[in-house]
Chains A and B, each alone.
Chain A
């Protein structure tokens, strides 16, 4: 995101106009896995956002970092992996912010208080942070909230180090007065983490056959979530569990609630997993390849179900898949990921009608189902393991349009032309209404990731 945009949105935030703000705002998310041999940057500095009730698709080949992105949002990254400092995932639902400010008063910070002690020169002088990684050229422009949310808490004078609720507008001490703020998901731990997981963001996993515990009844596993997040227990919980199963289209739900997962078919199990995810009335549903393990007719049913749930319950959906056809079906907006980076981001129609990034083009060309007898085109080679900082275009070795600079300049997400600003591509060819030299020059030196870990 460009510097001026960032400051514009910051200004809007302080005005209290938060209607345009997304539900989830991911900024410079970096998740890396540290092994003895190498550091794998599975997610390497991505930005995207999801509005309430919107479906955002994340698409890419295996190994492009889609699932790691989802797990980073859920706080499910485990050793040797970790979300790196500098990443920020903001959860902006006002109800949630007020609830968290009430429950975790000690972990709540009013940004206005921080600003008094904040000295940008000191932060960027003393740490390895760079203003570029926050999208600014001048250290003085970087707002304190960005620095604090990204994990530089000591540097801005937060000594506890476990602050996770940031109040932008209102009094941190009285939750009802809060008009704007966010919960910083990458800084959650313990109970605060568990409140978001399941309670606010629920997840549906890839393999329904193994994502239910085989030794407990399906009802038991749904009731568990109901008890945790809604305080229901006993008969009331069983009743609610049966209603949820019915809502996701499981016939004879009252009986099936007492059955074990092995008595359900694959599609039914995925419905049960979805019912479990809905049990907590989440604001957002992360679907990590929910249809990959199912056969095609069941796939369509599950996709319909997710679409229907989204409409009736108004949840935001983050939909991860490697299947371009599915993405076209379900998403409002699409992010195309490659080797840990988002290479193209656009609304679904423009993306399919006029794909800009050579990788997106390749993906669209390899959808089966063209003319009978036509040889299906593929993208040669594999996704590289992102084990070193990107100082070049990671797609260049496979790119049909690659030229010399692709090996030495790292492309950053850029509007594809001067007029549009919600269609970006990370490719040296764009913006395409200026000359290639000019475009390359715009990418050069704008890499905001540090080269630290």
Chain B
């Protein structure tokens, strides 16, 4: 089996997974502890209203019919309307509105660990048992040991105290970079993401940055949340990166490369780097999964109106179709990341799909 056949096989395998998830969701929603009718009408509703709603929601149809309806609705992204969180509003509409803030947060939360954690880990692995290695490794362990929700609260408390130069050395987070104090902005909140416009190049709309200040404001707004959300991944990537590097540095083919007379630069970047990335890949993508769970808490604390926060509200307020739809979207994201991981594997490692 060639590498690309293997990749196509993995791609096809996501279809049954998707159906399994949908079925699970269906069972959860229909057989779960929450009665949809009671959830919508409240405990004081009359029996006639309840019967009417049962009929309208299709709860009296045979189960298989409900199942087929459910599957077709979800696959066509026809999630229906929210019950409680933003009652009577189209769920897809709500999700599309909330998604950009979450994507913006997720983008930075993946980028920061990627460009801080991995280089630090590789540095530590290339210089094992030096002061730099100990500093990076110890920092990584401490950083990983701090729980997200706690870090969020502490970070907010510290940042708030820097107002009007109250921080160490007169540091003022509000005035740092784009000035929040003079604009009367809170240091938490939903990024507006209104800094880009599109222009038509050859009849294709191409986005470009039209308002650099707005971009800077959005980055500053999301940075504390993103650093905290990415902190666990950063530490994990650092530690796995270090181990992967150490293991590769000591492998025989590196000695062969040295014996060939290759300069260190080529050995590190050509021979070690690509091999060290192989064990890191699943770590990076699985950390991305964690971001979805983490975003629920971080968005709540940092007051960001994103998918995570809406999911949290839907869960606590018993908004079943909303929670189900978001779960389905999260599943799609995770499956997408899995496919991306398989794709990267196929590109990096020629042994993928090779049967002995």
| A binding-site residues for B, Cβ under 8 Å | 74, 76, 191, 194-199, 202-203, 205, 207, 210-217, 224-225, 228-229, 260, 262-263, 273, 276, 280
Q: Does A262 contact B261, Cβ atoms closer than 8 Å?
A: no
Q: Which of A202, A211, A215, A260 contacts B252 (CB 8 A)?
A: A211
Judge whether A215 and B349 touch: CB under 8 Å. Answer: yes
B255 touches A205 (CB 8 A): yes
With a CB–CB cut-off of 8 A, which chain B residues contact A195? 261
The reply to whether B252 and A207 contact each other, CB–CB distance below 8 Å, is yes
B residues near A212, Cβ cutoff 8 Å: 253, 256
Contact of A210 (CB < 8 Å), options: B253, B258, B274: B253
Contacts of B199 in A (CB 8 A): none
Residues of chain B from 304 to 319 with CB closer than 8 A to chain A in the complex: none
Residue-wise interface mask of B (208-232) relative to A, using a CB-CB cutoff of 8 A (1 in contact, 0 not):
0000000000000000000000000
Distance, CA A194 to CA B258, complexed state (A): 8
Q: Would you call A260 and B262 a contact (CB within 8 A)?
A: no
A205 interface neighbour in B252, B271, B274, B354, Cβ under 8 Å: B252
| Docked CA distance A211–B263 (Å) | 18
| Chain B residues near A217 (CB-CB < 8 A) | 350
B68 close to A (CB within 8 Å): no
Closest A residue to B272 using CB positions: A213
Minimal beta-carbon separation of A73 from chain B (angstroms): 10
**Known contacts A213-B253, A214-B350; can you find 5 more A-B pairs with CB under 8 A?**
A198-B262, A199-B261, A215-B275, A215-B348, A215-B349
Would you call B256 and A228 a contact (CB within 8 A)? no
* Contact A211 B255, beta carbon cutoff 8 Å: yes
Q: B244 to nearest A CB, angstroms?
A: 13
Residues of B near A199 (CB, < 8 A) are 261
* CA gap between A280 and B257 in the complex, in Å: 13
Task: Given A260-B351, A262-B351, answer yes or no on A214-B259 (Cβ-Cβ < 8 Å).
Answer: no
**Distance from A265 Cβ to chain B, minimum over Cβ atoms (Å):** 12
By the criterion of a CB under 8 Å from any partner CB, how many residues of chain B are at the interface? 23
Is the Cβ of A215 less than 8 Å from the Cβ of B350? yes
Knowing A214-B350, A215-B349, A260-B350, the reply to whether A228 touches B252 (Cβ < 8 A) is no
- Measured between beta carbons, the chain A residues less than 8 angstroms from B258 are 76, 197
**Contact flags B292-325 to A (C-beta < 8 A → 1, else 0):** 0000000000000000000000000000000000
Between-chain CB contacts (< 8 Å), 11 pairs: A198-B261, A210-B252, A213-B253, A213-B275, A214-B275, A215-B278, A215-B349, A216-B271, A224-B260, A225-B261, A260-B351
Tell me, in angstroms, the Cα distance from A205 to B253 when the chains sit together.
9
Q: How far is the CA of A199 from the CA of B354 in the complex (A)?
A: 35
Contacts known (A215-B275, A262-B351); A210 close to B259, Cβ less than 8 A: no
B residues less than 8 Å from A263 (CB atoms): 354
Q: Is the CB of B261 within 8 A of A194?
A: yes
Instruction: Check B271–A228 contact: CB distance below 8 A.
Output: no
- Report how far A263 CA is from B255 CA in the complex, Å: 21
Kindly name the residue among B253, B266, B270 whose own CB sees the greatest number of chain A CB atoms within 10 A. B253
Q: How close is A198's CB to chain B, nearest CB, in angstroms? A: 3
- B251 contacts chain A at the CB level, 8 A cutoff: yes
A280–B256 CB distance below 8 A: no
Question: Which chain A residues border B349 with CB–CB below 8 Å?
Answer: 214-215
Residue of B nearest to A225 (CB): B260
Given A215-B274, A215-B349, check contact A262 B259 (CB 8 Å): no
Least distance between B188 CB and chain A CB atoms (Å): 45
Contacts of B348 in A (CB 8 A): 215
A residues near B253, Cβ cutoff 8 Å: 210-214
Which residues of B lie under 8 Å from residue A191 when comparing CB positions? 263
Contact B261 A211 (CB under 8 A): no
Cβ-closest chain B residue relative to A262: B351
CA of A202 to CA of B260, assembled, Å: 7
User: 3 smallest A-B Cβ distances: which pairs?
Assistant: A198-B261, A210-B252, A197-B261
Contact pick for B351, options A210, A214, A228, CB 8 Å = A214
Chain A hits for B255, CB < 8 A: 76, 205, 211
Contact B260 A228 (CB under 8 A): yes
Residues of A within 8 A of B351 (CB): 214, 260, 262
Using A76-B255, A214-B351, A215-B350 as known contacts, say yes or no to A194 and B275 having CB atoms under 8 A apart. Answer: no
| List of A residues within 8 angstroms of B354 by Cβ | 262-263
Residue of A nearest to B278 (CB): A215
With A210-B251, A211-B253, A260-B350 as contacts: A276 and B271 at CB distance below 8 Å: no
**Which of A74, A213, A229 is the one whose CB lies under 8 Å from B257?**
A213
Q: Are A280 and B261 in contact (CB under 8 A)?
A: yes
Cross-interface CB contact of B350 among A211, A262, A273, A276, cutoff 8 Å: A262
Shortest Cβ distance from B352 into chain A, in angstroms? 10
Least CB separation from A214: chain B residue? B351
Q: Once the chains are docked, how many angstroms separate the CA of A212 from the CA of B256? A: 7
Q: Which of B251, B252, B349 has the most CB of A within 10 A?
A: B252
- Chain A proximity of B287: nearest CB distance (Å): 23
Residue on A nearest B248 in the bound complex, by CB: A213
Whether B271 lies near A213 (C-beta < 8 A) is yes
Q: CB within 8 A of A74: which of B251, B252, B259, B262?
A: B259
Which of B255, B261, B266 is the most central at the interface, judged by chain A CB atoms within 10 Å of its CB? B261
Given known pairs A194-B262, A197-B261, the reply for A273 and B256 (CB within 8 Å) is yes
Which chain B residue shows the least CB distance to A207?
B252
Q: Which residues of A contact B271 (CB under 8 A)?
A: 213, 216
B-side contacts of A196, CB under 8 Å = 261
User: What is the 8 Å Cβ interface bit string for chain B, positions 106-118, against chain A (1 contact, 0 not)?
Assistant: 0000000000000
- For residue A140, give the distance in angstroms from its CB to the closest CB of chain B: 41
Contact with A along B11-34 (1 / 0, CB 8 A): 000000000000000000000000
